[in-house]
Structure 1
């Protein structure tokens, strides 16, 4: 299944939970907002906010 490119603002929590987000999109979210995503078997398990000390 190919998912067309979309803006970060268009990604919903449901998209994340259903594994409908590409690694490139997850990387972009991490770079812009600092969120880490724990994924197992294509499904979102946990979202963590990276802390900068």
Structure 2
């Protein structure tokens, strides 16, 4: 919560919708359907686009 006040607003993070355009996705130590429920479908759908 205090990170934006200390380091400024972080603006270089791409949206989850851009996962669809990725060539390779690494998920380490996270359960996307549980922790990022609204975004998890982008990771699943990216397989149709050839993402490994």
Shared topology, TM-score over 0.5?
no
Structure 1 or 2: larger strand share? 1
Greater RCO (CA < 8 Å, at least 6 residues apart) = 2
TM-score by length of 1: 0.31
Structure with greater Cα Rg: 2
TM-score by length of 2: 0.31
